[in-house]
Structure 1
């Protein structure tokens, strides 16, 4: 287990773990504005907004250190490949630099591994041809997968050229678990990063996910968790 705890982390190190999520279907353009300003205030790594909100987020975050992220084929991953590629390209054109792509969950569970990999390759290669520094995180939705399927998804995502594997959308019956982070960390090469997402609401959760091997956490409770960190460090 990595020696990470409240005492060894600086505020900036912890803040740059967070992708601040603004993904609920009912969230408005005002919510996007407030969420982006919150991410700037707390120095988060990125925001993760709905594809329709990428342009707005990019405008607000311009000149800040907070990256613009979005989701592709969210939350079920069941769009056809051509639609996923088009959505991803549009997101990059609108200003997104990090794309969290939902794997085709049903096809993964059908054992169509080659198809899943080729689809991700098509999305990644097409977008990187447009902008080489785009970062890809592949969302598995572990709540629906067996341990063997999670391992297989890790292999597919890495082979397709993604930089991250990610646990969940936050919209399934359960989100990130400590066991899943350990399994995913063990199932990819060292240069592939692991993102925990779904149900992350406390500092203790974040610290444990980091100890288990995660390097990024998606949460809509970014401010609450970072305020908790400040209070503990000032005690």
Structure 2
């Protein structure tokens, strides 16, 4: 399935203006920062969707009262449904790693969660501990207050130091908490995440005033292009919700409703199969009673022509036989 996003004039101007604004805050030339985002010269962004919705899902359990048994169930559901990853609090990583075993399901740990206001050194320590315990991805929360204060060096450094603390194979996702940000700050946060080396920008923690919105996911994708991926999280509870996010650029869905979404996808697929089967049955059952008028007209014409030919042939044969019986006398 193919999708595309178009850069309308207003969005492109917004992004270009924010590049200029952000470049001043981190003391680099605007043209240097623009060079990092060459896709902004395009008018359209195209991408494909993997047909398997399960490969998009980070099966998530971040409740503070989550028990060991619930973490075990989360991991088993991820294995059974072939989800991309599970996402847990950092102090549950070791257990989740054991429950997942040698399965291909990835293990994401949240860092600085859910407020993002812990010191960068604390985020680094939490990240390194999570990696040592088996995490393969890190979902860190941006320092929203520093972003709003326009302390962009501090925000960039916070992201960069966490990225530097892990191996290149480890994907770092930066949670923006979009419900607390203006469009301008969403763009700025995306820019800082990309130049900070993040693999993903992510909408929400699910613990603030709101979750993922289609318009925010779309804007984030238009900013980062192919330089980073977009994870939609917070309030994505149905297959329809997930598909809206994917159609607008999300390549990962963070949700506690992964099993429900997967089931709804299978139900939709089965309904499509049933619909196609019904159409074929109706087509076959009606084939004996329905005749295309054009075919019927050609058939009637052909029948008449054949009948005419045989009638002429019979008349000619009868005439020849009659002449043989009564030959004309020569004069």
Given the two structures, how large is their TM-score scaled by the length of structure 2?
0.67
| Counterpart mapping for 1:107-146 below 5 A | 107-128=146-167, 132-146=168-182
Q: Whole-Å Cα distance in 2 between the matches of residues 76 and 54 of structure 1? A: 19
1:211 and 2:212 correspond: no
**1:151 maps to which residue?**
187
Pairwise CA distance, 1:189: 3.3
> Does the aligned pair in 1 maintain the 2:194–2:227 contact within 8 Å?
no
- Structure-2 separation of matches of 1:56 and 1:190: 34
Alignment gaps of 5+ in structure 1: none
Q: How far off its partner does 1:9 sit?
A: 5.5
2 CA distance for matches of 1:69 and 1:214? 17
1:120 Cα deviation after fit: 1.0
SS of the residue corresponding to residue 166 of structure 2 reads: helix
Q: Deviations over 1:93-134 (max 9, x none)?
A: 110011000000111111011111011111110222xxx311
Question: RMSD of the TM alignment (CA)?
Answer: 1.2
CA displacement at 1:27 relative to structure 2: 1.0
Aligned twin of 1:105: 144
Does residue 58 in structure 1 map to residue 58 in structure 2?
no
Equivalent in the alignment of 1:36:
75
Moved over 4 A (4+): none
Aligned position for 1:172: 208
**Aligned residues between the structures:** 226
1:191: Cα distance to partner? 3.1
Aligned to 1:14: 53
Structure possessing the higher radius of gyration over alpha carbons = 2
Q: Could you give the per-residue CA deviations for residues 123-146 of structure 1, whole angstroms, max 9, x where no partner exists?
A: 110222xxx311000000011111
1:96 equivalent in structure 2: 135
Q: Note the C-alpha offset of 1:60.
A: 1.2
> Does the CA contact (< 8 Å) of 2:236 and 2:254 recur in 1?
yes
CA distance in 2, matches of 1:135, 1:52: 19
Q: Point out where structure 2 has 5 or more consecutive residues left out of the alignment.
A: 5-48, 272-331
- Among 116, 119, 122, the alignment partner of 1:80 is 119
1:162 is aligned, of 195, 198, 208, to 198
- Once the two structures are superposed, residues 10-59 of structure 1 have per-residue CA deviations (whole angstroms, 9 ceiling, x without a partner) of 3xx21010000010111111110000000001000000011010001111
Q: If the length of structure 1 is used for normalisation, what is the TM-score?
A: 0.94
**Structure with higher helix content:** 2
CA distance in 1, matches of 2:117, 2:227: 28
SS of 1:187's partner is helix
Q: Which residue of 1 aligns with 2:88?
A: 49
Map Cα deviations across residues 51-84 of structure 1 (whole Å, 9 max, x no partner).
0100011111121110011100000000001101
Larger RCO: 1 or 2 (CA < 8 Å, sep 6+)? 1
Give me the whole-angstrom Cα distance separating, in 1, the residues matched to 2:193 and 2:101: 30
**Residue 173 of structure 1: SS of its match in structure 2?**
coil
